[in-house]
Amino acid sequence: MIETYLPSRVYLDNSASTKLAPEVLAAMLPYFTEQFGNASSIHSFGQQAKGAMDEARRQVATLIGADFNEIVFVSGGTEADNLAVRGIAENYRSKGNHIITSEFEHPAVRNTCASLEKQGFRVTYLPIYENGLVRVEDVKSAITEDTILISIMHANNEVGTIQPIREIGGLVKEIRLERKHLFFHTDAVQSVGKTPVDVKLLGVDALSLSGHKFHGPKGIGALYLRKGVRINPQVTGGRHEKERRAGTENVPAIVGLGCAAELAKENLLEFQNIALLRDYLEREITRLIPEIKFNGDKESRLPNIANISFSYIEGEALLIALDLKGLAVSTGSACSSGSTEPSPVLVAMGLSKEMVRGSIRFSFSRYTTQAEVDYVLSVLPEVVTRLRRVSPLYKQAMAIEQHKY
C-alpha cells in the first residue's frame, strides 16, 4: 500500500545506529526491574538472569550459524574487534607476528592493528580498488610463513560493499592444512541482520557484531569465536564468558541483543524490499540530479546503503541543509579545525578530493517506507541545486548567473 502522508522527520542514517525495536524494549524492561539478579549468583534471581542470558546466546548463535559456546558477549563492535584482533595476535605471537588487514577497515580494527605495530607486530594493509573491494589474490600473496591473523571486514560501513569473505575463508582453510596457526576475523557489524551471515559458510574463525546496528540496544555486541581458537582476554577479572571477557554481564542489554537477533532472522527477507527501495532512490536521484557518482560495487553490496557523491558541493553543508528539512543522513567529509579529514574509505577507493567531500550516505532499515524515500526525493534536488548555485566550482551556474548592478 502506498502511504500518502509526508513524514516530518526521516532517518536514513541506519548504518550509524538504528532505533530500538519495540519488542526489544519490552523484552529488556523486566531485567531492569524484577529480574535484576547477577547471572553468576546461584539463587533464583541469579538463575533467572543466567537463563535469560542463555536464551540470548542461543538466539545470537542461531542468527549467524554458530554454536552456543562460540558466542562471547562484549560491550559492542569496537570491543569485539579489539578482543578478536588483539586477543588472537597476543595469544599466537610465538607462532608468528604478521597481521593482514585492509586500508578501509573500521577504526576499531585499523587502530588496533596500528597499536599492535607499535608492539612489534608487522601489519600489511591491503589496498581496496575503485569498486570498494579487496582482491583475494592480494590476500593470498600477502600471506607469509609468519602470518597469524587476517582481519577483513564483511561489509563496509560507508559504501556497503560486501567483501569476498567466503573466498578468503576458503583460502585460509586451505593454508591451514599445512600451517595450523592462521586465523581469520571479520568485522560483520554492518552486515549482520541485513544480509545472511553464516560463520561456517564464510569460513571465519572470529566475527564481530553489534546490537544497535540491527534494532538492539547500544552498549552490547558479541564476538563469535570458533571452538578451539584461543584468545588473550582484554578485560581480566572474574571467570565470566568462559574466561574470555570478565565483568558482570549486562543482562538487560544481552536480552535485548538476543531479541534483536531473533527479529533480524525473522525479518531478513524484508531486506529484499529494502534493496528495491534503495534502488528506487538511486534511480530517481539519477533522473533528477545531474553530475553525481555512485560509490562502491553495484553487485556485491548491502541492500540498505546508497553512497552518492554530488559534484561541486560539500557533504557537511548538504547534510545540514537536509537536516533542516528533517532528513538525517551522513557524509564522508568531516571538516574540523580548518582541515578536512576525508573518508579514508573513499580515498582508498581512488575518489578525487572533491568527490570525497561531496559524498553522502543514505542507509535504510527495515522500518524505512516508500513515503520516506519519496520525501527524500522531494527535498534533495532543491537543496543540491541551491548549494551548487552558491558554489564557485559550479562553472555552468556561474555563466548564467552574473549580476549587474
Partner 1 sequence: MQYSKVILEHLENPRNVGEMIDADSFAEVVNNACGDKIKLFIKFGDKQIISATMKAYGCVPTISAASFLTEWLKGKTIKEAVNLEVDELISLLEGLPRGKRHAADLAIEALQRTLLSYKP
Q: Which C-beta is closer to partner 1: that of 115 or that of 396?
A: 396
Q: One of 25, 142, 335, 397 is an active-site residue; which one?
A: 335
Strands 292-294 and 359-363: unpaired
Give the separation between CA 333 and CA 402, rounded to whole angstroms. 30
State the nearest-atom distance from the C-beta of 90 to partner 1, in Å: 36
Is 335 considered catalytic here? yes
Furthest-apart CA atoms within the chain: distance in Å: 85
Q: Per CB under 8 A, does 8 bind partner 1? A: no
| Distance, CA of 361 to CA of 331 (rounded, Å) | 6
Helix (H) or strand (E) holding 256: helix 251-267
Size of the site for partner 1 (CB under 8 A): 30
Among 13, 297, 314, 372, binds partner 1 (CB under 8 A): 314
Q: CA separation (Å) from 202 to 81, 199, 205?
A: 17, 5, 9
- Least distance between partner 1 and beta carbon 360 (Å): 14
> Which of 259, 258, 266, 213 lies closest to 71, judged by CA?
258
Q: Is 385 in the site for partner 1 (CB under 8 A)?
A: no
Least distance from partner 1 to the Cβ atom of residue 5, Å: 24
From the list 54-62, 126-134, 223-231, 390-398, the region that binds partner 1 by CB under 8 A is 390-398
Q: How far is the CB of 397 from partner 1 (least distance, A)?
A: 8
Residues 331-370 that bind partner 1 (CB under 8 A): 335-340, 353-354, 357
**Any idea what DSSP says for residue 222?**
E
Interface positions, 12-31, toward partner 1 (CB under 8 A): none
- Find out whether 192 and 63 touch, Cβ atoms under 8 Å: yes
According to the binding rule CB under 8 A, does residue 389 interact with partner 1? yes
Write down the least CB distance from residue 353 to partner 1, Å: 6
Beta strand residue intervals within 167-253, DSSP E? 183-187, 206-210, 221-225
Cell of 250: 549486562
Which residues are part of the catalytic machinery?
Answer: 335
The site for partner 1 (CB under 8 A) is made up of 312-314, 316-317, 320-321, 324, 335-340, 353-354, 357, 386-387, 389-393, 398, 401-405
